[in-house]
Amino acid sequence: MDEGVMRTYARADEVFVAGHGAVLRDAEGREFLDFLAGIAVSALGHGHPGLVAALRDQVGKVVHLSNLFRHPYTEQVAARLCRLTGMAAAFFTNSGTEAVECALKLARKVMHARGTPQRCSFAALEGGFHGRSLGALSLTHGEKYRKPFGPLQPCTWLPPEDQDALARTLRGQQPAALVLEPIQGEGGIRELSAGYLQAARELCTATGTLLVHDEIQCGCGRTGTFLAAQHAGVVPDVVTLAKPIAAGLPMGACLAGAAFADTFQKGEHGSTFAGGPLACRAALVFLDEYEAGLAAAVAARGAELRAGLPQLQREFPIVREVRGRGLLLGLRLHHSAEAVQKELYRQGLIVNTTAGDVLRIAPPYVITAAQVQQGLRTLREVLARFPAAAPTTPETKQ
Ligand SMILES: Cc1ncc(COP(=O)(O)O)c(C=O)c1O
């Protein structure tokens, strides 16, 4: 496997050839329950009939135009995303990383326009992940991601939940933007408190720092509200989205509030492919389904998982903590989650690991109540095979 492909991922040898709903089928016909959705992407699951019909139709009409031409779908998706997020304008991208790049450039441009171009640094949180391009990588905390690629953009790292450190940095260093994930995904499904999100909002307003919420993993309805920060009633200046936004087609968006919607002038940012008719047609199917009832389904299935996972924690000492919200959940174990993940996979349940000791659970939004119970049963069977181990991860290391 992996012939001719750069070895940036440890890919499984399994080849999935088809799927329906939250089930994936391999080349031998074996079925797996998908509790991962391609890392929090395939919100409508696999083989969704409405998506298949819309894409077939769109491929026969027009796939690509470039951003030199208007298209109604692009504008419809922008309008609907702005309505759902409280933002005023969208820049479409092909990935989450590009949406973060757009947000960083937008913050720099705002500082130039204000006559404070020296405000060029960024603040981000320890444990945060924002992508791997040189700009986004500068804010991605993990040393393993950044070390081989320096020098990067200047960034100050803040411990999550420490409001004093946040105030000191924003007042003292005057960064262009504070960038944070309301729920850290790659950092181990770690949710920021409503109090911290609200304090960050107030401090950013007071210091003229742009507040950028990276909702690429936790946004687009995955936690029960369209944006995860809506649980805390916080509206950022800029929000980045991607992953489920076009139900599996590559797409992201950087959305800016009214005060920043006209920041870029012609030519200051761009993309050949982004926001094209095919991806936008898929995004419209996703948004239609989301607003027609999937939002309620996410809340219901999330509540079922949130009821079942603490039971596993009570039964199996290997389980240290249940994290997350809606359909973005984590089971933090007392040691590396890799062996458990591999055994789950052998038993037909797809999850992955994040931050080393966390099993990430991020199923398609269309997962059924019966499939949630099936997944919980498989988790129970597999966790029972792993004896309690003495904690090897110090409490402070996340
Ligand atoms: C919060 C967050 N930001 C940015 C990214 C990068 O997105 P992409 O891989 O689509 O470029 C990810 C990907 O996992 C993410 O979880």
pLDDT tens, position by position, 52-65:
999 999 999 999 99
Torsional sign, CA 78, 79, 84, 85: positive
- Is 216 near ligand 1, meaning CB less than 6 Å away? yes
pLDDT tens for each residue of 49-96: 999 999 999 999 999 999 999 999 999 999 999 999 999 999 999 999
Query: What residue has token string 């007392």?
Result: 334
Domain 52-288 has what CATH class? alpha beta
- Per-residue pLDDT band for 13 (boundaries 50, 70, 90) equals confident
- Assess whether 237 carries a catalytic annotation: no
The CATH code of the domain at 16-47+294-383 is 3.90.1150.10
Q: Give mean pLDDT, residues 29-54.
A: 98
Query: Domain locations in the chain?
Result: 16-47+294-383, 52-288
Say yes or no to pLDDT of 112 above 60. yes
Atom of ligand 1 nearest to the CA of 186: 16
pLDDT tens for each residue of 181-218: 999 999 999 999 999 999 999 999 999 999 999 999 99
- Prediction pTM value: 0.96
Range with the lowest mean pLDDT among 6-15, 54-63, 153-162, 303-312? 6-15
| 388 to 26, 316, 317, 336: CA distances (angstroms) | 33, 7, 5, 12
Please count the CA atoms within 13 angstroms of the CA of 237 that sit on its side-chain side.
Answer: 25
Atom of ligand 1 nearest to the CA of 128: 1
